[in-house]
Structure 1
Amino acid sequence: MTKIKTAARLSRRQFLTSTAAGALAVALAGVLPDPVLAADPIKVAGIYTVPVEQQWVSRIHVAALAAQERGDITYTFSENTSNTDYPRVMREYAEQGHKLIIGEIFGVEAEAREVAADYPDVAFLMGSSFKEDPSLPNLAVFDNYIQDASYLSGIVAGAMSESGNIGMVGGFPIPEVNRLMHAFMAGAREMNPDITFQVSFIGSWFDPPKAKETAFAMIENGADMLYAERFGVSDAAKEKGILAIGNVIDTQGDYPDTVVASALWHFEPTLDAAIAKVRDGSFVAADYGTYSFMKEGGASLAPFGTFEGKIPQAALDLIASRTAAIKDGSYVVEINDAEPTSS
């Protein structure tokens, strides 16, 4: 059963993140017609298909909690919402007067868009593998385009792998996963052009035991470094005494001798942009994916922590130069959404 919760100003889980003419023009353009008064917190609801501790969703949840703590929004959320139940929960929140609904509709794209069409005065900001539809002006899309940070974490992996064999465990081969894996692989090849990869998808967003077993098989096949796109992979690395690279969140605190680096996603720029547009009445169908780029503050490489001083200097130098180039736009990490394969 879907759980609907109102988030307190401090998280209950200790983890972890116009003018009148302008208003008329906005209304005529088919966007949300009523700006929210500056003094009023915007009523926001989150709908998630997994627990809010899961990596990807946790970043949305943490950003919403931060916006609530600032007083910009009030925040209610549902977790463990099945795809079959998702449209109903969207309708319930819309009927309850929420002005902005955030979530992820990867498995329920058509149904979710039908719901959004029925509530033109509600803004929907949804994780999606598809682009915005101008005919549905109140639904904007986003994805975690953190390929910049993933590329940098790959440089670390390529420098730290002694066997030149890296195992990569993902959830599903959808664009938002594929692009991160490809960027990671490109970074690793910067340090070792001959490096090989074992790539596997477990067919689930949250199945740590299955991810762990898949990682074990890769280790038995020679991998001495793992890319932990899913929970469970770092547990396998820890048990077998090899290294891992994290994704979306920093788990080094839980795996101090295992997780060398992590590509972090910061959802705050994405959510804050949407809040501002809902507030001034300018929210329209758009792709918010670029707010996840490193130059926008949407991604970063986690501190090396316990691995400070253990990463080869050549890798550190390359990371520093590439980071600066990514931020100033002189170096662009390729976005490759094709399904990656083993080499």
Structure 2
Amino acid sequence: MTTPKSRTIATLSRRQFMASTAAVALVAGASTLATPLRAAEPIKTAGIYTVPVEQQWVSRIHKAAMTAQERGDVDYVYSENVSNTDYARVMREYAEQGYKLIIGEAFAVEQEAREVAAEYPDIAFLLGSSFKPDDALPNFAVFDNYIQDASYLSGIIAGSMTKSGNIGMVGGFPIPEVNRLMHAFMAGAHEMNPDIKFQVSFIGSWFDPPKAKETAFAMIENGADVLYAERFGVSDAAAEKGILAIGNVIDTQADYPDTVVASAIWHFEPTLDKAIAEVNAGTFKAADYGVYSFMSEGGSSLAPLGTFEDKVPEAAMTLVNERSAAIKAGTFTVEINDEEPKSS
């Protein structure tokens, strides 16, 4: 195992990134499979993560992989706390060991990850990414946690619960994967009260609970009575100060029964199950799996309210139920806004 290291934001612009990887695409294009990708059952699958598997985002990938293994669909192993500088090496090690499906995250190692994928055209790579797939790299598919639907619904609840009209939001980094969820949450809160103000801050880390907690304390001092807990540590601050919190990606209501009102949950199962089916069918290809995180695909949901079941205003729950049905039916669309959110 390597020493834990926070994931950093890639500094390349999308145009610079695509230009710098043009050579990789050409190599991959030259090695396009004459026969489709195929794997025997169970599929040898490896997960590579830059943070502990307990971290919210990664925990959902890990959970889905464990579920697939219990079904007998995959033979799953994983490495956690892999530093960005070590990521490509670990990818190669698993590739050399005969793993047929490699899952994980490429946000800070886009170029290196795609270079490795080009070297192993018979292996399916499914990695979290802010960039799109490239047909010239046919064995490299991307995904993202598009759970803006559930985030919007949790925002409606938050907007109905704040008394001060001041909501604090603590995130890791202002990247699209975080920004879109915050914007959706803010839009939901404004459904209940268009005058709500937001304090927005990013801690510059994916896993630093003490720093997230400290940032949350500052927001509470500045009047926030509801916190959006995009990072671990925020709900701890809310619990200590006796205010409310909204969870993200995982359901922590049982851990904070008097604090966490609602949570937007990410279900990675539809994404992984689609990849498993494609590998088994020999049809895995460069594709954007982001759609499988949408609520209409079963990729996200609003967690049960638990101890807050009868404490959320009826008007808010009526709107939540109406919008949930409309989202699933395709008659209401939550806006996807990847721009960095600002305090208001």
Verify same fold: TM over 0.5: yes
For residue 317 of structure 2, what is the amino acid of its counterpart? Answer: L
Unaligned regions of 5+ residues in structure 1, if any?
A: 4-27
- Kindly report which structure 2 residues correspond to 1:20-59, keeping only aligned pairs within 5 A, or say none: 30=33, 33-37=36-40, 40-59=41-60
SS in 1 for 2:181: helix
For residue 285 of structure 1, what is the amino acid of its counterpart? Answer: A
- Equivalent residue number for residue 337 of structure 1: 338
Would the aligned equivalents of 1:63 and 1:271 in 2 still touch at CA under 8 Å? yes
For residue 56 of structure 2, what is the amino acid of its counterpart? Answer: Q
- Kindly report which structure 2 residues correspond to 1:198-209, keeping only aligned pairs within 5 A, or say none: 198-209=199-210
Would the aligned equivalents of 1:68 and 1:75 in 2 still touch at CA under 8 Å? yes
Shift of 1:34: 4.1
TM-score by length of 2: 0.91
Cα distance in 2 for residues equivalent to 1:203 and 1:316: 34
For residue 296 of structure 1, what is the amino acid of its counterpart? Answer: E
- Equivalent residue number for residue 21 of structure 2: none
Cα distance in 2 for residues equivalent to 1:114 and 1:308: 49
- Equivalent residue number for residue 69 of structure 2: 68
Would the aligned equivalents of 1:49 and 1:79 in 2 still touch at CA under 8 Å? yes
Q: Number of matched residues?
A: 318
Cα distance in 2 for residues equivalent to 1:228 and 1:342: 16
Cα distance in 1 for residues equivalent to 2:239 and 2:131: 36
SS in 1 for 2:84: coil
Would the aligned equivalents of 1:31 and 1:282 in 2 still touch at CA under 8 Å? no
Would the aligned equivalents of 1:47 and 1:81 in 2 still touch at CA under 8 Å? yes
- Kindly report which structure 2 residues correspond to 1:4-23, keeping only aligned pairs within 5 A, or say none: none
Note the alpha carbon deviations across 1:233-268, whole angstroms, 9 max, x for none: 000000000000000000011100000000000000
SS in 1 for 2:328: helix
Cα distance in 1 for residues equivalent to 2:280 and 2:156: 41
Cα distance in 1 for residues equivalent to 2:265 and 2:34: 32
Matched, 1:109 2:106: no
CA RMSD, 1 decimal: 1.4
- Equivalent residue number for residue 245 of structure 1: 246
- Equivalent residue number for residue 183 of structure 2: 182
Shift of 1:134: 1.0
- Equivalent residue number for residue 153 of structure 2: 152
Identity within the alignment, %: 79
- Kindly report which structure 2 residues correspond to 1:165-314, keeping only aligned pairs within 5 A, or say none: 165-314=166-315
- Equivalent residue number for residue 17 of structure 1: none
SS in 1 for 2:85: coil
For residue 45 of structure 1, what is the amino acid of its counterpart? Answer: A
Cα distance in 1 for residues equivalent to 2:278 and 2:265: 25
Would the aligned equivalents of 1:32 and 1:123 in 2 still touch at CA under 8 Å? no
Would the aligned equivalents of 1:167 and 1:225 in 2 still touch at CA under 8 Å? yes
Cα distance in 2 for residues equivalent to 1:265 and 1:32: 34
Would the aligned equivalents of 1:32 and 1:122 in 2 still touch at CA under 8 Å? no
Cα distance in 1 for residues equivalent to 2:207 and 2:319: 34
Cα distance change of structure 1 residues 120 and 202 upon mapping to structure 2, 3 Å threshold:
same
Cα distance in 1 for residues equivalent to 2:141 and 2:281: 16
Would the aligned equivalents of 1:32 and 1:283 in 2 still touch at CA under 8 Å? no
SS in 2 for 1:85: helix
Cα distance in 2 for residues equivalent to 1:159 and 1:2: 44
Note the alpha carbon deviations across 1:161-190, whole angstroms, 9 max, x for none: 000000000000000000000000000000
Shift of 1:29: 6.7
Matched, 1:318 2:319: yes
SS in 2 for 1:199: strand
- Equivalent residue number for residue 87 of structure 1: 88
Cα distance in 2 for residues equivalent to 1:34 and 1:194: 53
Shift of 1:110: 0.5
For residue 2 of structure 2, what is the amino acid of its counterpart? Answer: T
Matched, 1:161 2:162: yes
